[in-house]
Structure 1
Amino acid sequence: MKMNLTSMVFLMILSISAMLSSLFMLYSGGSYFIEWEILTLNSCSLEMALIIDWMSMMFMAFVTFISSMVLFYSGAYMGGDSNMNRFMYLVLGFVTSMAFLIISPNLVSILIGWDGLGLVSYALVIYYQNEKSANAGMLTALSNRVGDVAILLSIALMFNLGGWNFLFYSGGLEIRDIGGLCALVVLAGMTKSAQIPFSAWLPAAMAAPTPVSALVHSSTLVTAGVYLLIRFSGALSGTLVQTVLLLLASLTMFMAGLGANFEMDLKKIIALSTLSQLGVMMSILAMGWPELAFFHLLAHALFKALLFMCAGAIIHSVGDYQDIRMMGGLVSFMPLSVMSINLANLALCGTPFLAGFYSKDLILEVAFLNPLNEFCFWLLAGATGLTVCYSFRFIFFSLSGDYNLSSASAVSDEDSTMTWPMVGLGIGAVVGGACLSWLIFPSPCMICLSLDFKLLALIVSVLGGTLGYLLNMMVVNYTLKSLGSYNLVIFAGSMWFMPFLSTYGVSSSFLLLGASYHQSGDSGWSEYYGGQGAYDFFSKVSKYLQVAQDNNVKIYMVVLVMWLVGLLIVI
């Protein structure tokens, strides 16, 4: 307990310092680029670079604030764990990796944070040592390795520019000048932020402890890809990569919203909601509005961390059940947690004057104002309605429906170590959006839309909420209808078969291909004609040399005779 309090205080001080630095730089309009030479050998120098501007400092402030709340919360949630210190060190390693990624403007040094996130996330996903966690950890690690390879290839391509500080080049990069650099960076961002076709690992990563989920899904691992693309946004404008990213982000948003309406696992519903919001960030980024994507990233971090903390408190109280059908009527027993979870849900739905409203409503209006193709437009509108639909379904099943808990459950809000962080993040979920909008967009923008477009977001939200509540009130008929269209339900509820394609479909094929190559190539022909073959050849030759070096008279006589015979033949 002492360690998590010390860590929390340290991170809170860091958060306040970073926020004050960000406000100073926003006010002054300055930024600092720090670079120092670590090693020089001949003409090659190894340098470390840091970027300290309003964006990196503001993001750092949010990461450290949420991390401090999560560490304090973990003191109660993980209190019975025998490896509490190991858990704390892993979480602190996670935060440190994210900090390196945020303040690094160099594509080489960004690998410290990028690979650190991948490694520590694997260690945290397999924290509960069982087969399900091991499978989820492997899926997470393999999916993220694709992005790591894309970053390494990007480093190789950026070698042509004479440096790896991408902030200096991203504004004037042309895709024809630098090959596939933009495509590779977008691929890396898509794997880290779980866009289609790399979406399967995000719900699978729910095998990690709930405090880790609160940290991962709000401000660290999944937002790393979005943050990288925000920094690279200048290089993406007007390219084919941008159009492809918009389409895939819109599909991800819709697919996640649809899947959450058929999911019964509490943590996976919230994970799919994160996936949907990542699609929102990526889509507005692909439309050329990186500041809006950053605004939504920060606002989303506040209420998503709160949502996971409340979910963790509920799971902890109801006997470690995660199935929402095994809950119900929790409002009578956990009023503070239920109030907080409703607050986070309403912010997620974009309820006016909560944190999510300021960013989400602005994103929708800017998207409707932009020249957007009709397919992406309807996906965007549909996903907005589905968000409200699964939020109301979740509220009905777990918070306001019939009491379905076992008699052994001790459901209460008594543990103040778990409730205080909820209060802190709850305040952020109420006022965070307004404060951020004043800071990031101090000058009001005029968005001129027709009445139909202005009302569209409100209409789809009301329709989604009504549908989500009514369908689940008629739960018997709804279940019978679901059974009647079983194939459709399985397709929608399994994320369009994405987990199957990512594991059995693709990963197993590549792993089998790799195994056969290893057997026939690496351990076969390449060994025969390579290292092992050369070893055998030189071993045999060395035997003859050894005999020749024995100073044997017979050998010299044989050599002398052969030399004389050769001489005679020549003559």
Structure 2
Amino acid sequence: MLWSLSFCVLSYIFLMLMSLSTLFLGVWFIMSDMVIFIEWEIFMMNSSAVIMTFLFDWMSLLFMSFVMFISALVIYYSDEYMKGDLVINRFIILVLMFVLSMMFLIISPNLISILLGWDGLGLVSYCLVIYYQNVKSYNAGMLTALSNRVGDVALLMAVAWMLNFGSWNYIYYLDFMSISWEMNVISGLVVLAAMTSSAQIPFSSWLPAAMAAPTPVSALVHSSTLVTAGVYLLIRFNLLICETEISKFLLLISGLTMFMAGLGANFEFDLKKIIALSTLSQLGLMMSILAMGYAKLAFFHLLTHALFKALLFMCAGAMIHNMGNFQDIRYMGSFCRQMPLTTICFNVANLALCGMPFLAGFYSKDLILEVTSMSNLNMFSFFLYFLSTGLTVCYSFRLSYYSMIGDFNYEVYHSLSDEGWIMLRSMIMLMVMAVLGGCLLSWMLFPSPMMICLPLELKTLVLVVSSLGGVLGYEIFKMCISFEMMFKKSLSVNFLGSMWFMPFLFTYGSNHFPLWHGNFGVKILDQGWSEELGGQKLYSQFGKFSRLNQWWQSNSLSVYLLSFIIWVFILVLVMI
């Protein structure tokens, strides 16, 4: 019976069963406060053992459970979304390789095996971004791959520095490294790697560009795999960066990233890029609370964010699918009449992103902002936190206005409907988790509630800022498209709406200066004089000597010479 099912459905069943198993194990590990460390000796050569290590604790098991749950629903969703693909099994295998690489990264307490998972994520993400084979996809894939290579190099250098401790199992040395001067080097390299993977400033330009991938891939990448790998790595290394200069730097950069992404999303018209910029904003929030020393809180928001962000992308995919692969929100509208179920899921995910009370995002986001209000934080960072929260609600309501409330501006004859039941089942399952996941996780991770003691003004500040952002988002963007076009002519709006010109600097700048000069240097030096006087010169000289030797041995001259020597020898003997 099982063999009659498609590869998509089989993968969905397998991943869902694995997700439930690891979820129950994770809950058991939380209740019993247990950690399992496994060392598997692969082989031994000359008394040197090659050992693979795995770390199973409540954090790795819960994260694995969420990754497999979301990837199972994404694969099931892809069965209908990618129906036109003639080789859909290739797509599913790539997604499974992506999930496997993430598993390696999650359960590895060893920098070498982390690098294996990290490089696997980078390679497979490149393959998925260029899946729709066109020039835009190739450019986006190259930008994604080259940006993440910076993090790979940083991890390789951290591997080299870890040799000073005698092993690459960093989990043994975290307490010791916190009092070592080498802490600054290793923690700086790990923070650099995390910044590239989680697209913090100045590596932010690849995240919206990666939207060239199919929408199911975007749902997986932006919720629980590639972009969260950097946050998870820093959660594991959080003892290294607590109360150091690096943590202050990370707090500033992540706050600016959060602010920049919130501003950019308010000027964007591509549906998928708006959701990508909201991911960037939430990554900045996770990084900033992590830099303040609240690793468990960052992990809590990482899990809740994965649920509603995957749901947002799935709903966006259903809308794009129904509109014939059209993504401009200015041409959307009145989806609440044509696609009511999709609209319900989309609005629940949007409200969870805004921190609507008693949805998944509320439990983590509200707690983060209240802990921020209670912390000893400077005024600039405090301003960035709350302004970015207001901007999040602002672009969420703007998105709802354009897609749900406004007039439908695309075609008179259209086929919008909620008939894709495979996609709808995936979205409804995620919607249930987006509603219930936050409270369940808060009960599991924080059985003893945090004591938040704030004055009334600060306590209500989150709600006030969110309400103001929602009202502004609805009122400002009721303007006509002509007003928006008029605004877009100004330099300031171009600057704010293009991620502070980062994509231009990282594509045009790198193409015209470093890469061009690098190519020139390669042509002149590596493929020029060094070849002419080095490898190629040696090759040509040895070739000449070899041909001369071959000629000497292959012609009759050697026979004449030998006979001449023999006759001379006989003549000498006769004369004697």
Fold equivalence (TM over 0.5):
yes
Paired amino acid for 2:199: A
2:149 paired with 1:145: yes
Map 1:7-406 to 2 at 5 A.
7-174=11-178, 176-178=181-183, 180-406=185-411
CA 1:414–1:89: 2 relative to 1, 3 Å: same
Letter in 2 for 1:65: F
Q: Contact (CA 8 Å) 2:183, 2:240: kept in 1 or not?
A: no
Tell me the amino acid that sits aligned with residue 124 of structure 1: L
Equivalent residues of 1:471, 1:478 under 8 A apart: no
Q: 2:428 aligns with which of 423, 426, 435?
A: 423
- Cα deviation code 1:306-327 (max 9, x no counterpart): 1011111111112221000111
- Could you tell me how far apart the structure 1 residues matched to 2:463 and 2:483 are? 25
Q: Which amino acid aligns with 2:324?
A: G
Q: For the residues of structure 2 that align with 1:529 and 1:289, how far apart are their CA atoms? A: 59
Aligned residue pairs: how many? 557
Per-residue deviation at 1:305? 0.5
Q: SS at 1:33's partner residue?
A: strand
After superposition, give the CA deviation of every residue in 1:174-227 in whole Å (9 maximum; x if it has no partner). 462356211111111111111110101110111111111111111111101111
- The 1:507–1:363 alpha-carbon spacing in structure 2 relative to 1, beyond 3 Å, is farther
C-alpha displacement of 1:462: 1.0
How far apart are 1:399 and its partner, in Å? Answer: 0.7
- Give the aligned residue type for 2:261: A
Is the partner of 1:159 in helix, strand or coil? Answer: helix
In structure 1, how many angstroms separate the alpha carbons of the residues matched to 2:512 and 2:197? Answer: 21
- Aligned counterpart, 2:532: 528
- How large is the RMSD of aligned CA atoms in angstroms? 2.0
Deviates more, 1:315-324 or 1:349-358: 315-324
Q: How far is the alpha carbon of 1:44 from its aligned partner?
A: 3.0
2:567 matched residue in structure 1: none
Change (3 A) 1:476 1:87: closer
Taking every aligned residue pair, what percent have the same amino acid on both sides?
58
AA aligned opposite 1:428: M
Q: CA deviation at 1:405?
A: 2.8
Please tell me whether residue 448 in structure 1 is matched to residue 447 in structure 2.
no
Give 3-state SS (helix, strand or coil) of 2:52's partner: strand
Q: CA offset at residue 409 of structure 1?
A: 1.8
Q: Return the offset for 1:463.
A: 1.1
SS in 1 for 2:448: coil
Q: Is the 8 A contact 2:129 2:212 kept in 1?
A: yes
Distance 1:530 1:372 in 2: 60
Q: CA deviation at 1:132?
A: 0.7
Provide the C-alpha distance between the structure 1 equivalents of 2:330 and 2:485, rounded to a whole number of angstroms.
Answer: 16
Amino acid at match of 2:166: G
- Cα distance in 1 for residues equivalent to 2:218 and 2:23: 24
TM-score by length of structure 1 reads: 0.94
Superposition deviation, residue 534 in structure 1? 2.7
Q: Secondary structure at the match of 2:345?
A: helix
Gap regions ≥5 residues in structure 2: 565-576
Distance in 1 between the 2:476 and 2:486 partners? 10
* Helix, strand or coil at the partner of 1:408: coil
Using the size of structure 2 for normalisation, the TM-score is 0.93
Deviation of 1:449 (Å): 1.8
Query: What is residue 438 of structure 1 aligned with on the other side?
Result: 443
- Indicate conservation of the 8 Å contact 1:157/1:179, yes or no: no
Unaligned runs of 5+ in 1: 558-571
> In the alignment, what sits opposite 1:563?
none
The Cα of 1:278 is off from its aligned counterpart by: 0.4
Q: Contact 1:358–1:433 (CA<8 Å) still a contact in 2?
A: yes
Secondary structure, counterpart of 2:499 in structure 1: coil
Distance 1:481 1:531 in 2: 61
Secondary structure of the 1:273 match is: helix
Q: CA offset at residue 18 of structure 1?
A: 0.3
Q: CA deviation at 1:172?
A: 2.6
- The answer to whether the Cα contact below 8 Å between 1:172 and 1:234 also exists between their aligned partners in 2 is no
Deviations 1:513-566 (A, max 9, x none): 3212211221123323432233334445556777888769989x9xxxxxxxxx
Q: Which amino acid aligns with 2:230?
A: G
CA-to-partner distance for each residue in 1:147-177, whole Å, 9 max, x for gaps? 1111111111111110111111123314623
Q: 1:434 to 1:508 in 2, by over 3 A?
A: farther
Change (3 A) 1:535 1:464: same
SS at match of 1:172: helix
Q: CA deviation at 1:489?
A: 1.2
| Residues 481, 547 of structure 1: alpha-carbon distance in 2 compared, 3 angstrom cutoff | closer
| Equivalent pair of 1:319/1:409 in contact (CA under 8 Å) | no
Counterpart residue identity of residue 103, structure 1: I
Distance in structure 1 (CA, Å) of the matches to 2:485 and 2:341: 35
